[in-house]
Amino acid sequence: MNREEALKLLKKNLKNKNLISHSLAVEAVMRRLAEHFDEDVEKWGLAGLLHDIDYDRTKGDPASHSIEGAEMLAELGLPDDIVYAVKVHNSYHGLPRLSLMDKALFATDPLTGLIVAGALIRPEKKLSIVDVPFLLKRFKEKSFARGANRETIEACSETGLTLEEFMGLGLEAMQGIAAEIGL
């Protein structure tokens, strides 16, 4: 499956514009991380783009979220490593994250929310205004972007990146698609 096909599939299964923007952000960060780690950029991008493919169907049911998505992707013939990364990005299941892609997707998912929140609290509402020191400061504030699980974001250390490096790569990636996600 190529990116164009994946994007059509995503839009067919997700109707919420913000969730589509979230998926695009996760894709961008995963692509940037793949470049950083000299991994398969297209594969990592697909994992990021499609990680929440089942969200509309499983909203409010964490026991099903990511399991249904992984099953859908397996049926469509996506590679096993993408299917597994999608399955284990939801910590509810307690499945081990084995590959570097698994670990990156797990930590990236909430990072994008933290970065978006960082842009939205600025008067300009633009990612171009956000920088890593600002995000690190806000990261320490428990009341800021409550939905962005700090422990999950800090799992970036399992990839060998520091929190500062991880945020920098994530912010850079999202700034590169700011127009596409409206920030």
Q: What is the pLDDT of residues 58-71, one digit of tens each?
A: 999 999 999 999 99
Whether residue 182 is contained in a domain is answered as: no
Whether residue 183 is contained in a domain is answered as: no
pTM above 0.85, yes or no: yes
Q: Tell me what pLDDT residue 90 has.
A: 96
| Cα distance between residue 183 and residue 181, in whole Å | 6
Whether residue 181 is contained in a domain is answered as: no
Q: Residue 98 belongs to a domain with what CATH number? A: 1.10.3210
Whether residue 41 is contained in a domain is answered as: yes
Whether residue 52 is contained in a domain is answered as: yes
Low-confidence ranges of the chain (pLDDT < 50): none
Whether residue 139 is contained in a domain is answered as: yes
What is the domain count for the chain?
A: 1
Structural domain of 29: 3-176
Q: Tell me what pLDDT residue 135 has.
A: 98
> pLDDT tens digits, residue range 83-120?
999 999 999 999 999 999 999 999 999 999 999 999 99
